[in-house]
């Protein structure tokens, strides 16, 4: 009986947890083997953590790897940015501020504020 109890204890409390999309540490979008599901509508943030838009579409290369991200900026424009300049954590996408498209959005936001 002792062995059964030990096996049950180990299986209940010692088994590794299954990671979900919400548990991801930020990773470069282009390092993923496939485009994440359900990214449409997620917020797109700049490196300061400010929301600059919402995801419209994920574009993949011929192998299914994320290649680019299209999002609707807060000013209404559609912006396309490389997956290599974007990170993903399961909740939001963060873009690199040194990309010209993002720098232009930041300049617009600063000029109007």
Distances from the Cα of 21 to the Cαs of 76, 86, 89, in angstroms?
Answer: 28, 16, 7
Q: Does residue 91 carry a pLDDT above 60?
A: yes
- Residue ranges of domains in the chain, CATH in brackets: 26-112 (2.30.30.240)
Q: Does residue 17 carry a pLDDT above 50?
A: no
Residue 91, classed as helix, strand or coil, is: coil
Q: Does residue 82 carry a pLDDT above 70?
A: yes
- The mean pLDDT of 13-32, rounded to a whole number, is 64
- The mean pLDDT of 9-33, rounded to a whole number, is 62
DSSP assignments along 19-51, one per residue? P-GGGPPPEEGGGSSSPPTT-TT-EEE-TTS-E
Weakest mean pLDDT among 16-30, 47-61, 84-98: 16-30
Q: Does residue 12 carry a pLDDT above 70?
A: no
Q: Given this model, what pLDDT does residue 79 score? A: 93
Sign of the dihedral through C-alpha 23, 28, 32, 35: positive
């Amino acid at each position: 009986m002792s062995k059964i109890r030990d096996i049950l204890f180990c299986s209940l409390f010692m088994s590794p947890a299954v990671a979900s999309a919400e548990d991801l540490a930020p990773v470069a979008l282009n390092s993923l083997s496939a485009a994440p599901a359900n990214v449409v509508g997620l917020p797109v943030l700049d490196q300061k953590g400010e929301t600059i838009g919402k995801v419209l579409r994920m574009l993949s290369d011929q192998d299914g790897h994320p290649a680019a991200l299209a999002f609707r900026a807060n000013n209404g424009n559609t912006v396309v940015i490389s997956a290599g300049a974007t990170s993903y954590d399961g909740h939001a996408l963060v873009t690199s501020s040194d990309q010209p498209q993002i720098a232009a959005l930041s300049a617009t936001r600063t000029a109007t504020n």
